[in-house]
Amino acid sequence: MRGEITLLGVVLGLVLGVAGTVLGEVLRLRRRPKLTLALVDGLTLTEVAPNNAAFARLDVLNAPRRDGAVGVSVKIERVRSRSGESASELDFFQGWQLAWANEDRGNPNVPPEARSIPAGGSRRIDLVHLNETIKGKMLVDIRPQPVPRSGANRLGAGTFTFELVVSGDNASARRFAIDVVHDGEQWDGQDASAAERLRLAALRAP
């Protein structure tokens, strides 16, 4: 009888130990950062020495009641076009990181630093922008920036689908797609007309 009680205690201890481990893992996974993207309404007009620029941006958000996300980055996985650009032209954009808004402009020739986002917090990234001196083109805000005047990060008129991956050192990679619509007309550098030239639409998780 005593042996049976001892064995029962051992088994019960093992069951409780396994249950505690499983519960701890479940709670850990529930706290794991969850990153997502959100549209920023309109375009942000700013000066890029000394010309006006209008930026189309996205917010990178971490869900509330989670751990803080570290090592966060956003990369372009693929760009597709409904216009005339060849797939080989658009293949250039694969794997490039996007610039953090207002943070990666001072030295655009180096990769952007991975950033932290607290629970319930956000950081803003640049996707594409217009520059009043560059006629009929939008600039994709990849880093490191291609060789100046190469035009490698410039796209003309059309509707483009950008497939993006947002991830962190302690957060699973998540994929999103967004349409970028550019009319290819010369932008006059004014805030009021920027949205007529360029807009983001239909952000979704494919």
Largest CA distance in the chain: 92
DSSP characters over 49-107: TTEEEEEEEEEEEE-TTSPPEEEEEEEEEEEEESSS--HHHHGGGTTPEEPBTTTSSSS
How confident is the model over 66-110, as pLDDT tens digits?
999 999 999 999 999 977 677 778 999 999 999 999 887 767 778
Helix (H/G/I), strand (E/B), else coil: 38: strand
H-helix or E-strand containing 30? helix 2-31
Handedness of CA 113, 124, 45, 84 (dihedral sign): positive
Among 97, 92, 38, which residue's Cα sits nearest to residue 73?
A: 97
Share of the chain above pLDDT 90, in %: 68
Tell me: pLDDT of 17 over 70. no
Parse the chain into domains and list their residue ranges. 1-31, 34-204
The torsion angle over the Cα atoms of residues 178, 182, 187 and 193, rounded to 10 degrees, is -70
- Split at pLDDT 50, 70, 90, the class of 121 is very high
pLDDT confidence of residue 150: 74
pLDDT confidence of residue 30: 53
